[in-house]
Chains A and B, each alone.
Chain A
């Protein structure tokens, strides 16, 4: 069943151009079907995760999908976010291409969420990458092509590093199945070669997750692509790459050096992202840099060992998944420099109010979910022994101040007294999408308690290595 959530959008992407009069509703219908599939497996996945062997070929030789609470949650998020950011427009050839690419992106993202096999993850990751190159170049401007080309070169170089990482793992263990790898990793991979493989995979998958040294593409692409695409890449794709890295870290490489690498790169990402955002003078690039900083916090959170780290990381990732697309949607009509935004919040009342709401949540003002996410990270860091953890906590606190400074500078400009009526009001579709995300945010802050419990359950499932192995390899098979 869950395999359809991956297959339907991929099939739909290629059927879409042939749909004729049904074109307008076909893509959203496919995404709704994916959402329904995710909901149909939801109760079972939350209660008891299960593995699906594709074509009845059992692991470790066959390909498996592993569906736990987090996988179901992210599959649902993929469908809903793609639906929210769907390129509604007149069915020209150009729009059809964009809709097809969005469907491919959705299918591949769902694949990343449920895949239980390292090589399949690589293939889905490449699918996501190719779809995102197309979407990034989709604005049609020369700068858009330049940014997309540079993104393509960086990303394919990094994918190759990831492939070499997979090669090293296969060379050592003779398998690419995650459960089987988890079984043999303590003997075969917990050594310098295994660590090298992890670092290669970290760099390779880190490109989409905006990891510190490989994120040069972020501000260029987000500034030149359509805001909808920036929202999709920053909000959705980065989270799926993050999820894959967490699975690797929990199942195959629960090593201190691996955690430390994640912690160090995450901390550097927070520092560089937030400071660059402070210097940025237009809204789009400010939001891109801030996104790098936010994902740095998620990396730091996932570096914390044990369940506390997974809970905190999931909270940060989900909060960013809701907040950043909304901010990019609001930035659609606020393209110019921040100075030029004077009074824009007075003219577009709802847009201004939503921007303030999301800015407050990003900074972490108490009743909003952003506060709880940061609190979880900081308490997790404080519980660890050692200077590096406390340094990371100090960096997060200091950079929160910087974050507040630049976001409130924008808010100040939005409500500055100004009479010239330059900026246009927001498009209804964009404002509605941002409004829905805002409602999600408010609902999240109202039901913070139950949400925290649900996250805790999911994190326990993600962190349970032995259960993962037992569910995928039921007979205790060790060799193929």
Chain B
């Protein structure tokens, strides 16, 4: 019974990882990318906790250390650290997504990337290399949404 549950937990952890990584690679929406990162991190953290978990363990602080085995505390400490780092990075990512929305008026990563390449090429004063998929004559990019720029303070258009 416990073995089956353990296997299920491992499958769940690796599944969360796979879902998260696929989400990061396939999503176009900035918020979904951040969300997928968070899911993948949960998978990784679960995997780390599972490495030190024991079914027959007791909490030594309540039962006393003599009562039996305890789960390995080191992975739990590491997971705590990793969770805190993850929260910080996600908050930073969301803050950057807000700034990107203000600057480019979109949350589509591909559009943002195209605009960024354009900006870099403009700043460097060179014509960007033509994409193979691009139709001849180029594809005009939509103008930046002025709504976001006007309502937000401190935007960096």
Contact = CB atoms under 8 A, between A and B. Distances in A.
A44 interface: no
Contact of B30 (A147, A149, A336): A149
B124 interface: yes
A335 B123 contact: yes
Contacts of B120: 143, 220, 223-224, 285
Interface string B114-127: 01100110011110
A160 B21 CA distance: 10
Contacts of A284: 124
B89 A164 contact: no
B23 to A, nearest CB: 10
Interface in B85-111: 85-86, 88-89, 92-93, 96-97, 99-100, 103-104, 109
A143 B37 CA distance: 22
Given A157-B40, A164-B47, A170-B74, A149 B97 contact: yes
Interface string A160-193: 1001101100110010100000000000000000
A141 B89 contact: no
B24 to A, nearest CB: 6
Bin chain A's interface residue count.
35 or more
Contacts of A167: 44, 47-48, 51, 75
B112 interface: yes
Bin chain B's interface residue count.
35 or more
A152 B124 contact: no
A143 B120 CA distance: 7
Nearest to B96: A149
Choose among A133, A152, A174, A340 the residue with the greatest number of B CB atoms under 10 Å from its CB.
A152
A126 B97 contact: no
Contacts of A224: 116, 119-120, 123
Given A130-B89, A152-B92, A170-B75, 7 more contacts: A142-B116, A145-B103, A149-B96, A149-B100, A152-B93, A166-B48, A170-B51
Closest 3 CB pairs of A and B: A282-B124, A142-B103, A143-B119
Interface in B38-67: 40-41, 44, 47-48, 51-52
Contacts of B51: 167, 170-171
Interface in B13-46: 17, 21, 24, 30, 33, 37, 40-41, 44
Contacts of B85: 123, 126, 130
Contacts, number: 128
A119 B78 contact: yes
A153 interface: yes
B156 A145 contact: yes
Contacts of B119: 141-143, 146, 224
B10 to A, nearest CB: 11
B157 interface: yes
Choose among B21, B72, B75 the residue with the greatest number of A CB atoms under 10 Å from its CB.
B75
B116 A163 contact: no
B44 A140 contact: no
A170 B82 CA distance: 15
B48 A146 contact: no
Contact of B44 (A123, A143, A163, A336): A163
Nearest to B120: A223
B96 A140 contact: no
Nearest to A279: B129
28 contacts: A123-B81, A130-B89, A137-B99, A140-B156, A141-B119, A142-B103, A142-B156, A142-B157, A145-B96, A145-B100, A146-B115, A148-B96, A149-B93, A156-B89, A157-B40, A163-B48, A164-B17, A166-B48, A170-B52, A170-B74, A170-B78, A174-B72, A220-B116, A224-B123, A281-B124, A282-B124, A284-B124, A335-B125
A349 interface: no
Contacts of A137: 96, 99
Contact of B125 (A147, A163, A336): A336
Nearest to A137: B96
Contacts of A223: 120, 123-124
B113 interface: yes
Contact of B88 (A130, A153, A337): A130
Given A167-B48, A167-B51, A157 B37 contact: yes
A137 B109 CA distance: 16
A282 B124 CA distance: 6
Given A143-B119, A147-B116, A148-B96, A157 B21 contact: yes
A149 B109 CA distance: 10
Contacts of B82: 163
A387 B124 CA distance: 41
Nearest to A175: B74
Contact of A281 (B30, B78, B103, B126): B126
B40 to A, nearest CB: 6
B155 to A, nearest CB: 9
A160 B124 contact: no
Choose among A123, A146, A284, A340 the residue with the greatest number of B CB atoms under 10 Å from its CB.
A146
Contacts of A164: 17, 44, 47
